[in-house]
Structure 1
Amino acid sequence: MDATDTSLITWSFGLAALGYVTLTGHFFSFGKDWRSSTRARRIVIAAMLSALWAVFTLFAMRSGKYLPTITSSLLDVCRYGVWYSFLLAILSPQIGENQTKPVVAPWLPHLCRLLIGTGLVLQIALLGDWLKSDDWQRALVFQGLAEAVAGLILVEQLFRTVAEDSRWNIKPLCLALLFQFGFDVYLFSDGMMFNHLDGDAITVRGFVHATTIPLLMLSTERSKDWTSKIRISQKAAFHSITLLASGVYLLFMAGVGYYVRYFGGEWGRALQLALVFAATLGLCILLVSGSMRAKIKVLVGKHFFHYRYDYREEWLRFTQTLTTQDSPQSMGEQVIRGLANMVESPAGALWLREAGRETYSQTARWNLPESPGLEHSDSQLCKFLLDSGWVINLEEYRCYPGRYSGLDIPDWLSGLPNAWLIVPLMVSHEMQGFVILASSRTPINVNWEVNDLLRTAGCQAASFLAKMQATEALLEVRKFDAFNKMSAFVVHDLKNIVTQLALMLKNAERHRDNPEFQQDMLMTVDHAVERMRQLMLQLREGAKPPGGMCGVNLADIVQRIQKDKMNQGRPIQVNLKEGLIARGHDERLERVLGHLVQNALDASAQDSPVWVDIERRNDKAAIEVGDTGHGMSKEFIRDRLFKPFQSTKEAGMGIGAYESAQYIRELGGEMLVDSEPGKGTRITVILPLFVIRTESDLIEREVA
């Protein structure tokens, strides 16, 4: 190896070692709290192993000795293993994290472990003299290629599965590892094709790592746990300018590479390879840079259009942003993002006033820390926003406070990092809230056009938020309404139980010594206790009565009702033309028919007949409950009979008929009412029959 190659190797891997040492020191500057997390420890270990790998690779290539070469190869395998572990830690959910994390493919961790284990076995095999040097080198080339491909797969999994608005903070990380692993793919695939590794490519491998280290630093600075969110929009003009600039850049770098190769002498090919890599990396950094994209947008807006904004595009994008929320709780973040995208702001927070309160508090944030600041509706800031409707530019306020006469910025707002614009959210003449946006990625002149756009967008956002709050209030009212309705049903049933127990106590004065009455009384009390237990369960849990829908013997139900009313001293006539089984729940059907019978008894004189007829009508069962009492008018039947809280009884609640009709409809039946004032009432309950087949269709066909 001549002096030129030695000097190039020293610079290449010396810069890589220095860069990784600097990166390790940068990580340690964050303190113990940051390094206590699993991800932080793994990236610190990866940086330390990479620094050691660069140092031992430098010694191995300069000296060619056996021990540094083995150590460098072993460190390379370990370095890959730690990077695999770090990427898998990002892809996997962490304990205590509330947000949803992407899940890595289940086979990928096993593949990574297999590759690292195979690499370690290869090193042991060489130390134990189990493999020849040539065989070991061929296996090492294949192992290196497999490790690089697995690393690219992990990077692709991370970038593809993470949410789109979470990619801003992981772009530098993915770019750095993409080029590290991508260069290794080139190095080892070339080695497999020509059965030896390219010396020039190995030489510049250290430069590749050195150029990607700043991206790793940038990724850590953006977010310590790689969870920040940002989203940058794109337009047709922006794409055109970007593609044109990229083409010019690549043509220029191609020309430079040609002359470097032509005049570079012995270093020509190696320098050309390093230059191509650096140029490609630089182009990718520019293409994914948020600030560069923002500057291009401002440039396009200033020099290619009469107005800065394409209002159709802006309004469609803003409306789509507001209407794509997953839940009402995410609406606030959508409002922030929609307003921030208009002025290239990377962060923001929303303050809203809840119903019944006089203060505005932070309800949503996007890439900003949580703020405990509260702003009273009578404060100078709120009065200024409400009276003027202006968008407050805090940078302008600090330089020219006289333009905002009467405005006093609160202390909590002064302490908010990078606070830039305050956008009021107005609905009619009321302020729903306000959004605070952070400083933009590139300097933007906040002129009349920006102010008008933000004010108009703020009004639309305020209407969406007002609608969201009204919807939540309506849902609460509906929940309370459902609970009150269920409570009314339970109270109605309790009233019936109390009436039954009161009647039993009244009869106990005359029949207390009758053994049969005592037995009936105990059964009645037991039945009442069970019903009350079911009602309490239903009230507490909102549960339906136990037991599913099944076949119910209507004759048994009617006979139990007849016996119960007989014990109360009110006989009823029962006409069973045939035994029928209907669909439903035994206890609920008994409650419905018992309610109809009791209403018939209440509407009739003591000696007036009340009857129950059961017959079959095609595939339905018809249960008619009739009386000759005072009856009901057609208007009452049409407008009030089956409505809740409507009753002709002085002590009635108007719940029984409504509940009965609701349940019959659930079973697929109906209730028919025929009544005239002074002539009585007949209510017919139509229920689907529960048909039990004892023979199959095949037997019927054979008989036929």
Structure 2
Amino acid sequence: MLNLSVLGDFACAGAYLALLAYSVHQLTRLQAPITRAAVAFLLALLVSAAWALGGAWNGLQPPSVRWPGWLFPCLDAARWLFWFVFMRTLLPAAASDRSVSWLTGFAALAVCSEALLAWMADPLPLGALAHAQAFAGLAIAVVGLVFVEQVLRNAAGDARWNAKPLCLGLGAMFAFDVFTGAQAALFQQFDAAALTVRSMVQAAAVPLLWVASRRHGHWLGRLHVSRAAVFHSAALLLAGGYLLVVAAVGYYVRYTGGQWGPALSVALVFVALLALLLLLASGSMRARLRVYISKNFFSYRYDYREEWLRFTRMLSSGAEPQHTAETVIRALANLVESPSGMLWVQRAAGSDFVQAARWNLPTESASVLQDAPLVTYLQQSGWIVDLDEWRRRPSTYPGLDLPPWLAAETRCWLLVPLVVREGLMGFVVLGRPRAVIDLNWEVRDLLRTAASQASSYLDQAQATEALLEARKFDAFNRMSAFVVHDLKNIVTQLSLMMKNAKRLRDNPEFQQDMLDTVENSLEKMRQLMLQLREGDKPHGVSSGVDLEQLAQRLAASARSKGRALELVLQPGVATRGHADRVERVVGHVVQNAFDATPTEGMVRLTLDAQGSQARIRVEDSGCGMSQEFIQNRLFKPFQTTKESGMGIGAHESYQYVQELGGKISVTSELNRGTTVTLLLPLFHAQSPVAALGAR
């Protein structure tokens, strides 16, 4: 009678045979070269199908005619062996990649152990070696997962896309065997339900293998084993071996601990898992493992491509300027597994070296003089100083004299100079590494090259900071020039008032006008102080500015000074902006017209609306300007035709009109006069009086 296990065996055998037939057909149809990977793949399929057929045969036959007890486990071991050989062919066989040979040897040992245990268990009572067989099966599954991880991690680009289905399929089979093997190792018996569906799990992986075979007929070619892959694989193998040892100890405690055995075994497993998590999270343990792998499995200590990419990536990660110095320390420290460091830089040319940043080391307030022996030595030699070696044999570094705080700090390990354009801009002190590292030529060369890159990065950061500071001072100086220009106008206004005060001091109207002028000047100076303190920002609220009233105020101000401003005004014309700044712009144009025009001359202000813009035209009959001055100098700062002028007002007016989205134009003829036209955006909200007048 067919049961679930037999059905699963038949399904598994059929799936593997179908994939085998398809693969052979593809090889013959495409006339592809028969590679070792293809042969191993076909043999793995064939043996897997034979293993499934053997399981189905044993399930249908009575015990007397079934296969020998050792044959079926040996077939299971053989199919895993061929899968290991297949995955091994996808990885390089270079002699320097000793990690691959080490992994292959461990896989062969695990497979041979399972086959040997199956042969030894045949004459013994049923289940006599079940516990040992469980450990062997678990070892095969763990090695299989490591192989899968190697294949996937070392695949790149299109190869990774090809490798994913293969790794998912094989990984699922090995993961299921890890579950069944771990359970049997802990409880000394296999789970009958898990064994029943095991063949179905193997069959479920076949479609993924089929997808992988369709994606790449040459089976991915050779793959390169990187240091990262070796590190992760070694960590996985160590974790698997650790769990196997824990399971063995738990089994021993369970059956020799008497009444407390089961409880003690559970507590032991929990504590062991917690200890494993702590070890995996330990930076010191990871550093020691990386150092061990680099020393024993590779010809060179560093994978320079990966190290350089990681170094530059870390340098560029310091987005905020205040974190730049600490980023340089961390980037250099990571190259040698150092958990701490500090950076000393020269803030300006000719200054002393001070601590700019620190990482897991104490703050040091003392500075290093620019002519100190340490600075002179680093600048002349450019050597990386091993502080431990200097403490043992100072003669190794002739002429080097360390500051007392550095010589006494035993946590400091290396001193790396930062040189830019043959000059020393600073140095980095690195703390003692997590793992013992031989400071050979390779480590020194990598640190020297990285320090050169870090120096350029720091130099660029300091140059950028200096440029930003210079721009801030430039903006402040420009604003100061605007403020000084406005103060000059206020001083001129107050000087004129004081000149007339001697003659009109008893006139009540003059007295009132003088008070209004002083109050207005005081308010303007308050605004100038606020502008100087907060920067070049508009003050007040942006709103509609009634240009008609503005023109009336300018005319009244001119009358008080004994000048006449002719007005031609269209009522209801307004613009959007800050009232004081708009009045200052128009007032500057009017004042320039008065300055350029004799007392008997004409100055006229015309206001009207032109389309969507308010137009202000100021005409005078004064001395005029040349076309060369208008085109090349008029609106530039510090350019003027006045003997006492500063050349700031026209520039400020032009800048503000541009900010409002307006336009300023000038036409002029020498000795005939000038016309300045301001076009400002029209503010459409009209007063009720203007609206009625329009009707």
| TM-score for the superposition, normalised by structure 2 | 0.64
- Aligned residue number for residue 432 of structure 1: 425
- Given that 1:534 and 1:545 are in contact with CA atoms closer than 8 Å, whether structure 2 keeps it comes out as no
1:687 deviation in Å?
0.9
The change in CA–CA distance for 1:544 and 1:399 in structure 2 (over 3 A counts) is closer
- Aligned residue number for residue 554 of structure 1: 547
Which residue identity is paired with 2:249? V
| Percentage of identical aligned residues | 56
- Aligned residue number for residue 327 of structure 1: 320
Match of 1:529 among 514, 522, 533: 522
Mapping 1:472-511, distance limit 5 Å: 472-511=465-504
- Aligned residue number for residue 274 of structure 1: 267
Match of 1:262 among 212, 237, 255: 255
Which residue identity is paired with 2:424? M
- Aligned residue number for residue 462 of structure 1: 455
1:509 deviation in Å?
4.3
Paired residue secondary structure (1:597): helix
- Aligned residue number for residue 685 of structure 1: 678
Mapping 1:60-79, distance limit 5 Å: none
Which residue identity is paired with 1:471? T
Separation of aligned partners in 2, 1:694 and 1:377: 71
Match of 1:253 among 233, 246, 255: 246
Separation of aligned partners in 1, 2:441 and 2:366: 29
Separation of aligned partners in 2, 1:361 and 1:325: 21
1:667 aligns with 2:660: yes
1:447 deviation in Å?
0.7
1:390 deviation in Å?
0.9
- Aligned residue number for residue 61 of structure 2: none
1:395 aligns with 2:408: no
Which residue identity is paired with 2:253? V
1:584 deviation in Å?
1.6
- Aligned residue number for residue 402 of structure 2: 409
Separation of aligned partners in 2, 1:360 and 1:552: 57
1:649 aligns with 2:622: no
- Aligned residue number for residue 348 of structure 1: 341
- Given that 1:344 and 1:442 are in contact with CA atoms closer than 8 Å, whether structure 2 keeps it comes out as yes
Separation of aligned partners in 2, 1:537 and 1:410: 49
1:365 deviation in Å?
0.7
Paired residue secondary structure (2:553): helix
Which residue identity is paired with 2:317? T
The change in CA–CA distance for 1:526 and 1:310 in structure 2 (over 3 A counts) is same
- Given that 1:386 and 1:430 are in contact with CA atoms closer than 8 Å, whether structure 2 keeps it comes out as yes
1:622 deviation in Å?
0.4
Separation of aligned partners in 2, 1:527 and 1:637: 33
Paired residue secondary structure (2:344): strand
- Aligned residue number for residue 37 of structure 1: none
- Given that 1:537 and 1:543 are in contact with CA atoms closer than 8 Å, whether structure 2 keeps it comes out as no
Separation of aligned partners in 2, 1:373 and 1:533: 45
Separation of aligned partners in 1, 2:306 and 2:667: 64
Separation of aligned partners in 2, 1:354 and 1:383: 17
Match of 2:574 among 571, 581, 604: 581
Which sections of structure 1, spanning at least 5 residues, go unmatched? 1-233, 696-704
Separation of aligned partners in 2, 1:397 and 1:510: 88
Q: How many residues align?
A: 462
- Given that 2:667 and 2:675 are in contact with CA atoms closer than 8 Å, whether structure 1 keeps it comes out as yes
- Aligned residue number for residue 107 of structure 2: none
Separation of aligned partners in 1, 2:278 and 2:588: 78
Please, what is the CA RMSD of the aligned residues?
Answer: 2.1
Separation of aligned partners in 2, 1:589 and 1:287: 69
Larger Rg over CA atoms: 2
Separation of aligned partners in 1, 2:528 and 2:511: 26
1:503 deviation in Å?
1.9
Which residue identity is paired with 2:360? N
Which residue identity is paired with 1:303? N
Which residue identity is paired with 1:316? L
- Given that 2:337 and 2:434 are in contact with CA atoms closer than 8 Å, whether structure 1 keeps it comes out as yes
Separation of aligned partners in 2, 1:469 and 1:240: 43
Cα-to-partner distance string for 1:332-372 (whole Å, 9 max, x where unaligned): 11111111111011111111111155321212111111123
Which residue identity is paired with 2:545? V
Cα-to-partner distance string for 1:198-237 (whole Å, 9 max, x where unaligned): xxxxxxxxxxxxxxxxxxxxxxxxxxxxxxxxxxxx9333
Which sections of structure 2, spanning at least 5 residues, go unmatched? 1-226, 689-695
Separation of aligned partners in 1, 2:579 and 2:686: 21
- Aligned residue number for residue 639 of structure 1: 632
1:542 deviation in Å?
3.8
Which residue identity is paired with 2:428? V
Paired residue secondary structure (1:235): helix
1:457 deviation in Å?
1.0
Which residue identity is paired with 2:444? N
- Aligned residue number for residue 508 of structure 2: 515
The change in CA–CA distance for 1:556 and 1:322 in structure 2 (over 3 A counts) is same
| TM-score for the superposition, normalised by structure 1 | 0.63
Separation of aligned partners in 2, 1:321 and 1:481: 33
Paired residue secondary structure (2:498): helix
Separation of aligned partners in 2, 1:623 and 1:498: 27
1:544 deviation in Å?
4.8
1:620 aligns with 2:618: no
Separation of aligned partners in 1, 2:680 and 2:256: 98
Separation of aligned partners in 2, 1:514 and 1:253: 109
The change in CA–CA distance for 1:604 and 1:242 in structure 2 (over 3 A counts) is same
